[in-house]
Amino acid sequence: MNVAQRVIRYPFDAPPEHGEATEVADGVLWLRLPLPMALDHVNVYALDDGDSWMLIDTGLDWKKGRAAMEAALGGPLSGKPVSRVLVTHHHPDHIGLAGWFVGQGAELLTTRTAYLMARMLALDVQERPVAEAMEFYRASGASKKDLAKRAEARPFNFADVIASLPLGYTRIQDGEVVLAGGRKWTVRIGHGHAPEHATLWSQDDDLVLGGDQLLPSISPNLGVYPTEPEADPVADWLASCRAFQPMAREEHYVLPGHKLPFVGLPTRLEQLIENHVSALDRLEAHLVAPSSAAECFMPIFKREIREAEYGLALVEAVAHCVHLWRQGRVSRYRREDGAWVYAQM
């Protein structure tokens, strides 16, 4: 079958209501929890371990998210405890309620980097941005209005939206086999959206638990942040997608962290790669006119960026500019206002 004939199929045309569950495979329930942002939901999967449940991701720890989870625990998950929680990556919409479950006796499984990143960020509570953070946004070319707003506002803090994480956890790593839901799952690690992001590939059927590494219809954010201001998540992302390609089969049934479960993983991996390759090509062409990352939204995203999207768009623009610079495709220099300016060689 050639690429033009391949399609991505969606076995379900609608998600479960909050507090409800849909059986997406034998012994696997799909839950959806609300998020207070433009991407207004996260998927959680409950794997039937016989006398208990294992959850894949947990949602954000906020009033509506916890209420939806409690409704599910009292509804479709009732009668059996949650004994294990496997977190695919450290982002708060995935690890948010993990500590809450651990407090009720569950075991936390995740990658070492995911655990350490979440612990570090949860302990780094700031009432106002630190100097390094403000310098990062200044170097990104953020507007004076945005910089002034950031300087006066309480920044986003992990601790505000995740339950306290436990002192210890159980590590999972690439190539390891996890038993859950009556299946053997091979752990395969991706990078780019989050460092050491776990995906799980069933050895017994065609199921893949994709987290945010394998999403349909949208591409996950690839951002550079003040914690590692010259990281290259775009290179990590492209390398991970290409590493997954030899493993991907048309019949794989992917259960993603957002949007709908889908079939057609080889095609989707090609799309995920092409999305960023094309954006990089457009960005390089745009940089005939030297620009800061904040001045590169249109060539990267092909649309105007609203105020609510500005923060995520900015860190992704930095990521793409840094990637071109690291690849030797563009040069950069400091402007008088402190911003890095990227330009064609």
DSSP 3-state of 179: strand
Q: Are 69 and 33 in contact (CB under 8 A)?
A: yes
> In which residue ranges of the chain is pLDDT below 70?
1-6
DSSP 47-111: EE-SSSEEEE-----SHHHHHHHHHHHHTTTTTS-EEEEE-SSS-HHHHTTHHHHHTTTPEEEE-
Note the pLDDT tens digit of each residue in 248-259: 999 999 999 999
Residue with tokens 């079939």: 263
Q: Are 163 and 96 in contact (CB under 8 A)?
A: yes
Domains defined for the chain, CATH in brackets: 3-344 (3.60.15.10)
Residue 1: per-residue pLDDT = 42
Give just the sign of the alpha carbon dihedral 307, 308, 313, 318. Answer: positive
Element (H, E) at 341: strand 340-344
Q: Whole-prediction pTM value?
A: 0.96
Residue 7: per-residue pLDDT = 83
Cα separation values, 342 from 48, 133, 153, 339, Å: 51, 20, 29, 10
Residue 153: per-residue pLDDT = 94
Note the pLDDT tens digit of each residue in 24-67: 999 999 999 999 999 999 999 999 999 999 999 999 999 999 99
